[in-house]
Every structure is written in C-alpha cells, then in structure tokens.
Structure 1
Amino acid sequence: MKNIFSITILAFLLVATSCADFLEEENKSNVTAEEFYGTSEGYSALINSNYSALRTIYANNPWMFASGTDLYQEGRGLEPEGLSKYFDLNSSSSGVDFIYVNCYKAIQLANSAIHYSDLTEQTSSIQQYLGEVRFLRANAYFLLVQTYGGVGMITDYIAEPILSFDRSSAEEVYSFIISELEGAMGQVSTADYNGRVNKRAVENLLAKVHLTRGYEDFAASDDFAKAASYADNVIGGQGLNLSSEELWTPGNDLNEETIFSVQFSPGSISANPSSIGNKQQNYFGSYLGGSEVAGDAPYKTYNLLPTRFALDLFEEGDERWSSTFMTEIYERYYDYFDVDDRSTLTVTDFYEPKWFSAEDSIAYVAAHPGVVYHSYGTFDPNGGLVTADKATIIVKKFDDPNSLFAAGGNGTSTRDFVVARLAETYLVAAEAYLQSGDAATGLARLNVVRQRAGVADATLADFDIDYILDERGRELLGEYHRWFDLKRTGKLVERASAYNSWITEANFAGIGGNQKILRPIPQSALDLNQNKDFPQNPAYE
C-alpha cells in the first residue's frame, strides 16, 4: 500500500495535540512518545484517543451528513451554501473539508496505535486493541470514499510531512476497507456491546460497506448477498423489543439495540462543557428562546429543519411521529422529560399532524385554551417560514435535559451519539435482499421495523428502493445517514431537487457535464501537494 498522505492533514497533526498528546515528542515530564506508549497505561491512552476522534467526526457539524437532501433544509439559521444548495459547491466551499480533515486525523491516530502495538508492553489486550483501531480506520476510509471517491491511502505511521502524494481509486479503497474489517473481526471482542468495538459492530459495518459497493460499477457480484448475510448475522434473531419512545429516552443510549455509538459523559467534557459536547440536539428544529431559558430548553439553531416531504412520510398511528417530534411544548420544554405525570401541565404550542380533521382541531383547542396551534403545512420550511421562535416543529429524539444552554451552535449534550442501531440493520438487510433479487425476504426485514412503529405491513407491490428510502426517513430522521443513503442509491439528484425547495436539478450541474455527486477534494490539500497531476473530481475540474 502506498504511503500517501495529505500534507495539509499531516502538518496539522504534527503540531496539534489530542486527548493522549499522541504525537507530542516533548512534554513537561520529558517522556517521549516511545516511552509513554511503551507502557500498557500509555498505549491504553492512545487507544482511547482513537475513540475520542469519533466525537469530532460525528457529534460536531452535521452538514456533510444531512445538508442538501430531501429531508432537511435551512430556515432562519443558514447552512454552508455549497453543501446545502450545490449550485456554488466547489473545492473551496465552506465545510467541504470537514470529513477529509477529521477522518485523516482519525487514520493517523489508528496508524500510530498499530505502529506502537509492536513496541508497547505486550498484554492480553493488544490483539483486541488492534482489531478495534482497524475498525476505526476502516470506518474513516469508508466515510472518505463515499464522500470524495478515491483518496490518498496511508497505512503506516508517518512522522514527517509528505510533500507529494497520489490518489488511489475508489475500488482500491473499498478493497482495503473490506480486508481490514475481515481481519478485525477475528481480533475484537465477541462480548455484548459496552462502548468498544465488538464483532457485531464489525459485521454491521461490513454489511453497510458491501451494500454501498454493490451499487458501484466495480462491485463484486456477491456484494448485495454478502451485505444481507452480514446484516442477518448482526440481527441474530433479535427483535426490536423497545418501543420507539424508549429507544430515545435520555439515559437509555446504551440500550440493547445500540450496535455502535460515540460515548460521552459529564466528566469527558468538563474542561469546556459548552463547546465539546455532542451537538446533535442543537439541530433539526426552530429556536426556542435565548440564554434566559438555560436549563429549561435546548439550544436549537433553526437550520436543518424537516421538510414538508419528511413530515408527510408519517401516517396516523405511527409511533415515530410522537417519539421523533416534540408535538406539544410545555411552559418549560424539559418538563416533557422531567415530569412523570404531565396531565396537569400547560401546553403552549401544538403541532398538528396531517391526519387531524377539523373536528380534531376544534376539540384540541377547546381542551387547551390559549395554546398556539400550528396547523399542518405551516410549521415547515416549505410552508411560508416565519422567523418567530417555535415556528417549526422540533425534533426531540436527541434532546438532553441535563445539557447546558449554549449559543452559536456549540455542543452541550453528554448523550451518546448512536452511529449504528438494530433497526437500521433491518433496513440494510431489506435493501440488500431487494437488490440481490430476494424481495420477499427483504420485505419481511423491513416490516419488522414497521411493526414496532405500529403501522401496517408494506406489501410487495409497495416494496422498491424508494419505499426503503421513505422508511429510512421515518425511522432514522436526524441520524446523519441521509446524504449517504441518497448518494449510495443514486437518488440524490432526483430526491433533493424534488423535495427540497432550495434545490433544482440544475444546481447539480458541474464542469464538463458532470454532476456534483461526489464532494470536491479540498483546495487546501491540492494547493500544498507537489504532485500537480493529482486529479480533482470531474465536476469541479
């Protein structure tokens, strides 16, 4: 494997510090990296820093995961314009380097851990640690290849900047990812998930990687079949036993359906709790008030608002409507979580579901005098958005009643960020079986998700890739999958332009008739690369 790496990333890494000061050769105690990581304690700290890198990738800005899709669009708060609207997307656009920079940081950390595994004190945990960091490195490359296509690959620890680097093909990157995950599977723990990578998490990622590669022109003939098989291994006969509401109850993040997550705790963000926590709760809803509501409501940025299309996906009886959205806001927002008996609380705002009749509306207002009644069609960015607080419906599933209020989009939550969970694995299996030609089995997997939601089974007449994407929208709203889902299935242009009022098909038009499906390689990396033959993605050349 070529030792190729962006000088932009590596130069940053060589001067920056992480949780474990992973590249700091000089420190106050005059202990070198070799000495520190040569101990079991130091090596354990290096492994922990690999996990900490996930926080920056997943629990930070969501733009590259969610912007510019069919489910979310901006309101009063603005998103990076290139990522959210495409027409001005280029290699220097705001935010296009987010996954590039942060995944390469994670890769260098993993390479460091692999390098020092032979030099450190040998314990019974070394092989398990190696499997874990191989998973984390593979996951970083998976994010990179989905986002940018082929990228520079590095598999060795590098201590000095490389001034010239090449680009591997997407096919080569996928082959490496799969090889790494297959190797990691025999090294990691087979125990139940406790916050560390285990065999189930590895198989789950393998299912997603094979599913994604199955759509590529270099796909292996058995990619979809392997994706279905791995997904079924992960499911292992386990049902979706929690209710949708229980799944998202604060304090229940490490539940039986969680396959892999980014861990947070009050102690882990105590150095700066207003800026280094999980940001996920801050998006997907309208502003709830200024700092005067500290302790009473979460900070919301008023961007990435659910589109009308997203809201239309829900039908009467779907438990995910009430478990996903804060359909009733009390005088103190957090009383929803903090008060067991809410029957005597005053409702200040109500967001009407699309299935309400006129009689339902009249009855609700009569039972809740003084309520601000938001009629369906008026509280999404397609419905004549107003700038008042609480003007659009709130996604509540990530809210943390123990968080601090922080303006400016800063992270405050100590809830875990769920990267993979069982219901999504059922939907991965559904898609994989459909694409491998076994629609009946795929439909059965999808209907397990619908049955937990309390809605009628889908039929074979319904079951196609669009139906799966709709079901993923209902089940996974706000969970940082959507851009990758649309890109994987070839539905990005069609769906974003059909259901996001800021986007038309013309916005995707790039140079030379190419469409802006992949994101551009960041210009900063290209400028500092002495290999001037390194290719940009076609739409941006």
Structure 2
Amino acid sequence: MKLIKIKTIVATALLTLVLGGCNDNILDEQPRSIYEPGYFKTEKGVQGGITYMYFHLRNLYGQAYYYNSLITGTDEATYGASADGNFKDMDLSGAGSIISTSYPTSILWGTVFPNINTASGVIENAAAAGFAESLISEARFFRAFDYFLLVQTYGGVPLDLGAGELKFNTSTSRFSVRNTVPQVYTKAIFPDLIKAVNNLPTAPRLTGTVTKTTARLFLAKAYLTYAWWLQNPNNIPTYPETPRVDPDGHDAAWYFQQAYNVATEGIDGAGSTYALQATYYDVNVATNDRNKEMLLYADHTEKSEVYNGSSLTFGSGGAPDNFASWMLTWNYTDLKSSGVFSVQREAVQPLGRPWVRMAPTINVFEKTFADKTNDSRYDGTFTTVYRGNWNKAGNASATLNNANGLPVAPGGAILTFLDSEPSTPITYPSGSGANNVGAGELPGRSDYVISPRGISRIVYPGLWKIGPYRTDNGTGLGQPNAGSTRPFPVAKFSEFYFVAAEAAVKGATTKAGKSARELINVIRARAGKWRFDNNGNVAKVADNSAAMIAATPATIDINYILEERSREFYGEGYRWFDLVRTQKWEELASSYEICGASKGNHTAVKVNRTILKYQYIRPIPQGQIDAMIMTPEQKKAYQNPSYN
C-alpha cells in the first residue's frame, strides 16, 4: 500500500533542529533546512531527528487555533467578541459549523505526519548508527504520542506512509488507506509505548526530555481511552467502520484495569524525579516553570530567538509562537480612570496580549469553580483583578480617579471580577461608562466591578495560569506583543491520579489507599493549600485540605471526575479529548450562559449547541483529500461520514 500527500516526507521544515550536544542540559538547537533519507543513517542525523520531535511540539502546543479546537465548544469556553470563523465554527452554536475545510481541525493532521515519519526513520536507523535503545525509545514515544492524538481526533488513520506499515517512507505517494481504530492502538500506540516504558530512563537525559514516567502516563491514557472506545456507552459511530472488538482478545474491563495498573505504577515509580507541587499556585506560577510536576512541555526561552523558535519582540500569530494565551485575554487596555488608559498591555502573567477570540462561560464561574474560598484553583487559574500600571507607560500621575470618583495608585485595583453576586446590586452603566468597558460600581469601592452573571463575550476574567512572563521587562512594560517565552504544558504528573481514578470508577480493581475517592482527594487536598492570593496580590498561608476532602462525595462518578479535571486543567487543552473519550460532550456542553458582545451588556442569555454524534470525530482535512490521486469514490470513502 502507498500513502500520502505529506510533501515533507522526512520532516522538512523552515527550522529543523540538530541535537549537536548539550548546553546547560537543554537541547542544542541549530537550524537545518531539510532532512534527506540518508541523513538518518548518520549519528548527527539521528540526533537531529530526535531533536526535531521536541521542536514539533511547538507547532501544536501554544498554537492558538489548535488550542481553540480543543476548548471552544466544550463546557470550558465559547467564542469571544473578536472571534472570526475559526472560533465560531468550533462552538457549534449556530454561528458557524465544522466542515472539512475548517482550519483548526486540520492543524493536527498536517503537523504530526512529518514527525511520525521522522520517528520511523530514527527507529529504523539509530541502532546501526550506534545509538542505544534508551534514545531510540524517545522516537518510539513520539510516534505513539502523535498517533494517539490522531486516533482520538479523526478515528482510524493510516499506518502506512508509502513504504509499509510503520516504515520510514522516502518517496512521495498520493494514495492512502486508513487503518481502523483497533489497528492503530494495537499495532502502533501500545507497542511503541510499552517499549518506551521498558527502555526510557527514569530521569531525563536533558532538561525536558521524555522518561519512563512520561511514557507510563501516555500508555495509561491510551489504555483508558481505548477501553472507553471498546465499551462505547452512547453508541458513537467510528470510522473506518469496524466491530468494537479488540484484535488481541481483551475486553474494555481488561483495558480499564491496565490503565489503573500503569497509572498507579507511574505514581509509585516516579522516585525523586517527579512529584506533585506543594500548592496549585506552585504548579502554574511562571517563576516555577519546568517544575517536577511537568512531564512534557513545548519549550521556549527569552534568551535566544533561535532556541525560542520565534521572535522575542513581536508575535506572528502562528506556530511555533506560543500565543495561545492571547485567545482568552480580553482587551483590558480599554479600561480608563480619569480618562487615562490605566491598565497598559504588559508582558506579565496576569496580563499579556489581548485577542478576545475565546471567552469562558458563566457556568465556569458558577459551577466548575463554585468553591472560591477553600479551593485555590480558581485563584490559581484566572486573573480576577486588573491593577493600574500607567506609570510604566510614562504617566507620572500618583493617583487616578476610579470608581465612585475615588483615587487609585499604581498597583491598585482598577477592575475586580467578584467571586459571587453581591448582596447590594451593582450599578452598571447603560453602555461602556466612564471606565470604558461597561463595568459597574458598588458603594465605597474604588475599583469597578463585574459579578459572575455579568461576564460577557467581551469582558471576562483572563487566564492567568498560562499568561506570559519575562525577566527582561526592567521597569517598563516589556514585550507584551511577542509570543510567550514560557513552556506550554503538555502533560503533568497530577494526571496519573485522574487516570487511575477514572479507571477505578469504570470497574478496575483498586489497591489499598488508591480508591477513586482517595486518588481524587490527593489532588483536592493539594488544592486546599494556599501560599499566595492572586486576587489580593498578597502572600496567603492557609490549609483548607480537610474541608476539601470532607466535601468530596462518598461515591464519585465520571461526571465528578470530569468536574475535577476541569478545575485542575482548565484552559490547558484537555477538555475536548476528555468529553469525547467519556462520550459526555453533548450531555455537559450542549448549552451555556453568557452575556453579549457589547460593552455594558450584563444580561445573561442561554445559548444552545447542536452536538451530533458524528462530530465526536473531526473531518479529514479537505486539502489532504484533494491532493490524493484517487477516484472520487475512494476520496469520499476516505472522509469521515457526514463531512462529505
């Protein structure tokens, strides 16, 4: 069998990278224009191929349009006031629709197949070039990682890129056949990840490289996801059509048990290399990036544009920039105090560059993050207070008049998103008001306010947890228009607890001390511990672990685990996969509340989504189908049904 349009047969890229050595224990990235087939038979070629695999993460994680495809349309977000069709399409609320030419759903397909072929080239040639299996298993991990993303997104995908199943392809092919979902799991994903678990080191060979623990997490996730696919509780269609029967003769229960076993082995076998951070704030605060909870991330740096993969002074709005955080950032720079723009665009974690393409729904604040007192995760996720920084833009005014005509100094609160509806009604202006964003006032307060039910498509709390961070801002505003130089998180140690708990809820036999409730309570206990209050911008030492544990239901179900997953990983790109895996997308995301797209609109409306069963898998990109030399009937059969 031959395959596929992928013109970059061997990972051709504008910037491909060579692992020529080690510099402060990070990947040493050097530009290279192309990889040729014979290159992988050399030591330098194998090293370059491995390094490219880490680079390719930047083309997905931090890529805002791919990010949008994983969050917009779920119970975490809808489209924002400045959204174009790329965002409205994903919402499924009637403003657009997902079709085969939708850009966000095509990004994964176009990104990972070149990397899969690179991985196959390394796997086939690295041993002869003198490399140990411990390094080759990094390529095995990434090939499985990419196929796992593909099979969750599109259903069955091709294992043959033109030279045979899982073979390194060196010649362009314009014909393709898709394998079934069971074939992708049992021929590609599971074997590669099992070998990676067995052969990868316990500790990373360089900062950020994959390990035995990283591979265990993705093996456990793959077992869990495949178990759900076999069980298929809501009769979601698959494609290519195939019986939901495992080729190896195992049933869903067996795979749920494997997911539990591997996940708990990951918790117990991490040693000193990985661990939960002491507080949720420590997980996400930028000054603690690349901490022990981070298993995998798409890395960036402010030290060098070559190593960063993109400009340090401006954002391109495309990969490999890390610009995902712009999408859930509203235009806080419209805020005025005394007629002065009092909150300037700044390259700091609570602010960054506003694009207003996505917006959290009111349900996020009223339901997902209902407990804002004991649970630190709301405060550790959102920017809820916008503080004056006009002095950094050259305005020497010591104070500006803000809400109720009261003075505010630099660093003071200009706008606060309240935790709940106040007992005294907020006085909202009829339009944008003196503050220029339509925020309201409460008696005696110098900050403007908006309550949860006043959150709209145009003004909403920003996403603090993945906001930008620079150490070179000096006393000014820094480079807020550049892509973030922070690593974008891909996988965290904390997810082991959720995978094991979900498998336990689905019937896996549990170990002592690791029931579903006990596993979730490890995460909830940590969430109850505070060391800093973002809302107040002050240190806060509090331990509400006992209250958090006491509030956990005696028996937890899938919906509760999904709520906890959203509290823990909100806005990180997990949600669509979570809802599709558990087949809860329609149940949990078919409606939401939000106010309108104009300043001063604080009237919440209910919006309904139409989420159909065929949409649980995305369309094969039309560009792929158009480029193949196949009959019209073959092309039609290649596309997922209902997208033709």
Q: Which bracket does the TM-score occupy, shorter chain normalised?
A: 0.7 to 0.9
Query: Aligned residue for 1:178?
Result: 190
- Conserved in 2, the CA contact under 8 Å of 1:63 and 1:84? no
Cα–Cα, structure 1 residues 295 and 214, in superposed 2: closer, same or farther, change >3 Å?
closer
TM-superposed CA distance for 1:326, in Å, is 1.2
Query: Aligned residue for 2:174?
Result: 163
TM-superposed CA distance for 1:150, in Å, is 0.3
- Conserved in 1, the CA contact under 8 Å of 2:332 and 2:354? yes
Matched, 1:320 2:412: no
* Structure 1: distance between partners of 2:172 and 2:332: 46
* Structure 2: distance between partners of 1:213 and 1:283: 31
Structure with the largest fraction of strand: 2
Query: Aligned residue for 1:338?
Result: none
Query: Aligned residue for 2:145?
Result: 139
- Conserved in 1, the CA contact under 8 Å of 2:469 and 2:486? no
Q: Note the alpha carbon deviations across 1:383-433, whole angstroms, 9 max, x for none.
A: xx4x4xxx21111011123186566xxx61111111111222211111111
Q: Secondary structure at 1:426's aligned position in 2?
A: helix
Matched, 1:107 2:116: yes
* Structure 1: distance between partners of 2:266 and 2:443: 47
- Conserved in 1, the CA contact under 8 Å of 2:260 and 2:508? no
Q: Note the alpha carbon deviations across 1:424-462, whole angstroms, 9 max, x for none.
A: 221111111111255881111111111111152254555
Matched, 1:188 2:281: no
TM-superposed CA distance for 1:539, in Å, is 2.7
Higher relative contact order (CA 8 A, sep 6+): 1
Q: Note the alpha carbon deviations across 1:509-536, whole angstroms, 9 max, x for none.
A: 4xxxx53211111112122223342432
Query: Aligned residue for 1:226?
Result: 258
Match of 2:353 among 299, 303, 319: 299
- Give, as a single letter, the amino acid of the residue that structure 2 aligns with 1:493: E
TM-superposed CA distance for 1:14, in Å, is 7.3
- Conserved in 2, the CA contact under 8 Å of 1:69 and 1:500? no
Query: Aligned residue for 1:419?
Result: 490
* Structure 2: distance between partners of 1:365 and 1:31: 59
Matched, 1:479 2:488: no
TM-superposed CA distance for 1:141, in Å, is 0.5
Query: Aligned residue for 2:450?
Result: 374
Cα–Cα, structure 1 residues 265 and 208, in superposed 2: closer, same or farther, change >3 Å?
same
Query: Which residues of 2 match residues 243-254 of structure 1 at below 5 A?
Result: 243-254=279-290
- Conserved in 2, the CA contact under 8 Å of 1:163 and 1:530? yes
* Structure 2: distance between partners of 1:251 and 1:30: 34
Query: Which residues of 2 match residues 68-467 of structure 1 at below 5 A?
Result: 68-78=73-83, 80=86, 81-85=88-92, 88-120=97-129, 122-123=130-131, 126-154=132-160, 155-175=166-186, 176-191=188-203, 194-217=207-230, 218=244, 220-221=250-251, 222-236=254-268, 240-266=276-302, 267=304, 268-269=307-308, 272-273=311-312, 274-275=315-316, 276-289=320-333, 293-295=345-347, 297-312=351-366, 313-314=368-369, 315=371, 316-332=373-389, 345-354=411-420, 357-358=423-424, 369-379=445-455, 381=456, 385=457, 387=458, 391-402=459-470, 405=479, 412-436=483-507, 441-454=515-528, 455-457=547-549, 458-461=551-554, 463-467=556-560
* Structure 1: distance between partners of 2:108 and 2:310: 25
Q: Secondary structure at 1:216's aligned position in 2?
A: helix
TM-superposed CA distance for 1:135, in Å, is 0.5
- Conserved in 2, the CA contact under 8 Å of 1:150 and 1:170? yes
- Conserved in 2, the CA contact under 8 Å of 1:309 and 1:499? yes
TM-score normalised to the size of structure 1?
Answer: 0.84
* Structure 1: distance between partners of 2:607 and 2:152: 21
- Bigger Rg over Cα: 2
TM-superposed CA distance for 1:481, in Å, is 0.3
Cα–Cα, structure 1 residues 207 and 360, in superposed 2: closer, same or farther, change >3 Å?
farther
TM-superposed CA distance for 1:280, in Å, is 3.1
Query: Aligned residue for 2:623?
Result: 524
Query: Aligned residue for 2:28?
Result: none
TM-superposed CA distance for 1:159, in Å, is 1.8
- Conserved in 2, the CA contact under 8 Å of 1:4 and 1:152? no
- Give, as a single letter, the amino acid of the residue that structure 1 aligns with 2:4: S
- Root mean square deviation of aligned Cα: 3.4
Q: Note the alpha carbon deviations across 1:462-510, whole angstroms, 9 max, x for none.
A: 51111111111111111100000000000112222133678645x334x
TM-superposed CA distance for 1:272, in Å, is 2.2
Give me the identity figure in percent.
25
- Count of matched residue pairs: 506
- Give, as a single letter, the amino acid of the residue that structure 1 aligns with 2:191: S
Query: Aligned residue for 2:3?
Result: 5
Cα–Cα, structure 1 residues 31 and 93, in superposed 2: closer, same or farther, change >3 Å?
closer
* Structure 2: distance between partners of 1:30 and 1:211: 39
- Conserved in 1, the CA contact under 8 Å of 2:421 and 2:451? no
TM-superposed CA distance for 1:181, in Å, is 0.5
